[in-house]
Amino acid sequence: MIKRMIFYFLTGLFCITTLSAQGRVVEPFNNGWSFKKAPATTELSVNARTWDAGWQAVELPHTWNAKDMQVVAANFYEGAGYYKKMYTLPEAMEGKRLFLHFEGVGACAEVYVNGELATAHKGGYSAFACEITKLLKAGEENEIMVKADNKARPDVIPVNHHLFGVYGGIYRPVWLVATDPYAICVTDHASSGVYITQKNVSRKQAEVEVKVKLDNGSLQPAPVTLKNTIYDQSGKLIKTHSQSFDLSPQGIRSFTSSFTIKHPHLWHGRKDPYLYKVVSQLIQEGKVIDEVVEPLGLRHYEARAGEGFFLNGEKYPMYGVCRHQDWWGLGSALQNEHHDADLATIMDLGATTVRFAHYQQSSYLYSRCDTLGLIIWAEIPFVNRVTGQEAENARNQLREMIRQNFNHPSIYVWGLHNEVYRPHEYTRELTQSLHDLAKTEDPDRYTVSVNGYGHMEHPVNMVADIQGMNRYFGWYEKQLQDIEPWVEGLEKNYPHQKLMLTEYGADANIAHQTEYLGESLNWTKEFYPETFQTKTHEYHWSVIANHPYILASYLWNTFDFAVPMWERGGVPARNMKGLVTFDRKIKKDSYFWYKANWSEEPVLYLTQRRNPDREKKITSVTVYSNIGTPQVYLNGVELTGIRQGYTEVHYVFDEVTLHDGVNVLKAVVTHKGETHEDQIEWNYNGEKKREADTYSIKGEHWGF
Q: At what angle do helices 363-372 and 2-14 cross, to 10 degrees?
A: 130
Say if CB 125 and CB 366 are below 8 A apart.
no
Q: Indicate the burial class of 206 (C-beta count within 10 angstroms; 0-12, 13-18, 19 or more).
A: buried
- Sequence-distant (6+) residues with CB within 8 A of 18 are 24, 288, 291
Q: Residue 59: how many CB atoms within 10 A of its CB?
A: 11
Q: What is the DSSP letter of 701?
A: G
Q: Residue 141: how many CB atoms within 10 A of its CB?
A: 10
CA atoms within 13 A on the CB side of 390: 27
**Maximal C-alpha separation, the chain:** 90
- Sequence-distant (6+) residues with CB within 8 A of 406 are 191, 195, 196, 441, 442
Active site residue 491: no
Beta bridge partners of 651: 623, 644
SS3 of 148, please? strand
- Sequence-distant (6+) residues with CB within 8 A of 144 are 84, 85, 86, 87, 100, 111, 112, 113, 132
Q: 570 vs 359, 476, 519, 526, 701, CA distance in Å?
A: 27, 18, 21, 5, 11
Distance, in Å, from the CA atom of 472 to the CA atom of 592, rounded to the nearest integer, reads 20
Say if CB 247 and CB 182 are below 8 A apart.
yes
Which 3-state string (H, E, C) describes 75-105? CCCCCEEEEEEEEECCHHHCCCEEEEEECCC
Choosing from 390, 419, 530, 538, the catalytic residue is: 419
DSSP code string of 16-36 = ----STTS-EEEE--SSEEEE
The closest of 594, 623, 588 to 350, measured between CA atoms, is 594
Distance, in Å, from the CA atom of 553 to the CA atom of 377, rounded to the nearest integer, reads 12
Q: 435 vs 42, 374, 398, 414, 642, CA distance in Å?
A: 35, 24, 10, 9, 51
- Sequence-distant (6+) residues with CB within 8 A of 637 are none
Q: What is the DSSP letter of 272?
A: B
Catalytic residue set: 419
